[in-house]
């Protein structure tokens, strides 16, 4: 199946592409991704009537479908209808929440290339409307998760746009962000950070 971005470029996933220079990936005892952990945390919040937060679906337009059997359809080509904004949104304690989740294997910094201009613009609009907006950053090597308020991300984005550093150092994330201890239920309790920072 071909999925295309709004500019017509074909989306290519490297998740299952074998590499000649890399050892095979072993899936035994592999941890969940950051998005999986956040999904589980959001279900906990929902079931305990703490907050209603969901992952936004990515809008896709299907353009070519094959029917090899009467009861089955195979999508052969599809396009992302529009550029997505952020990963998650919802409501907590009467306030709108909007955030993006990113992870890196980098030990010393968080690359800003993980963000896109339209995502930054969207977050700026949310902040102007007094919404709670932030990014959740995970340093996978250290298994550390931080909540970084959007206003601080804007500062680092503007620094990059001015031709300076193209990443946020880990020290800067530690200084401007809030470490979220990884627990059991919920696994990533970002609501506790929201309570101390925004409420």
Q: Which pTM value belongs to this model?
A: 0.74
HSE (side-chain half, CA atoms, 13 Å) at 153: 30
Flag whether 91 is in a domain.
yes
- Give the range of the structural domain holding residue 110, as residue numbers without chain letter: 34-57+83-197
Quote the CA–CA distance of 143 and 34 in Å, as a whole number: 10
CB-CB contact of 160 with 173 (8 Å): no
The reply to whether 86 sits in an annotated binding site is no
Q: How many CB atoms lie within 10 A of CB 191?
A: 20
Which stretches within 14-99 are classed as H helix? 34-47
* Model pLDDT for residues 47-89, shown as the tens digit of each residue: 999 999 999 766 566 667 777 776 777 777 666 555 567 889 9
The reply to whether 85 sits in an annotated binding site is yes
Flag whether 151 is in a domain.
yes
CATH code (residue 136): 3.40.1350.10
Flag whether 77 is in a domain.
no
- Residue 43 pLDDT > 60, yes or no? yes
- Residue 163 pLDDT > 60, yes or no? yes
- pLDDT, residue 46, reads 97
- pLDDT, residue 73, reads 76
Arithmetic mean of pLDDT, 138-159: 97
The reply to whether 36 sits in an annotated binding site is no
Flag whether 64 is in a domain.
no
The gap from C-alpha 79 to its chain's centroid, in whole angstroms, comes to: 20
Quote the CA–CA distance of 193 and 180 in Å, as a whole number: 7
Arithmetic mean of pLDDT, 78-106: 86
Flag whether 23 is in a domain.
no
- pLDDT, residue 68, reads 76
- Residue 147 pLDDT > 90, yes or no? yes
The reply to whether 103 sits in an annotated binding site is no
CA dihedral of residues 103, 144, 38, 47 (deg, nearest 10): 180
- pLDDT, residue 20, reads 47
Overall number of domains in the chain: 1
The secondary structure of residue 19, as a DSSP letter, is -
Flag whether 29 is in a domain.
no
Arithmetic mean of pLDDT, 172-188: 95
Flag whether 92 is in a domain.
yes
> Pairing relation of β-strands 144-149 and 178-179?
antiparallel
- pLDDT, residue 25, reads 40
Flag whether 176 is in a domain.
yes
């Amino acid at each position: 199946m071909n999925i295309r971005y709004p500019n017509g470029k074909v989306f290519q996933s490297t998740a299952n592409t074998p590499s000649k220079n890399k050892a095979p990936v072993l899936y035994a005892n592999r941890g969940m991704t950051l998005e999986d952990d956040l999904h589980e945390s959001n279900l906990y919040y929902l079931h305990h009537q703490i907050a209603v937060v969901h992952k936004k679906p990515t809008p896709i337009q299907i353009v070519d479908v094959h029917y090899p059997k009467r009861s089955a359809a195979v999508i052969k080509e599809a396009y992302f209808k529009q550029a997505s904004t952020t990963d998650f949104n919802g409501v907590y304690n009467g306030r709108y929440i909007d955030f993006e989740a990113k992870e890196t294997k980098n030990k010393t910094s968080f690359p800003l290339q993980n963000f896109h201009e339209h995502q930054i613009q969207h977050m700026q609009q949310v902040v102007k409307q007094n919404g709670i907006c932030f990014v959740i950053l995970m340093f996978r090597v250290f298994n550390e998760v931080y909540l970084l308020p959007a206003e601080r991300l804007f500062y680092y984005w503007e620094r990059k746009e001015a031709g300076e550093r193209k990443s946020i150092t880990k020290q800067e994330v530690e200084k401007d962000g809030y470490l979220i201890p990884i627990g059991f239920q919920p696994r990533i309790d970002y609501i506790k950070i929201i309570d101390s920072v925004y409420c």
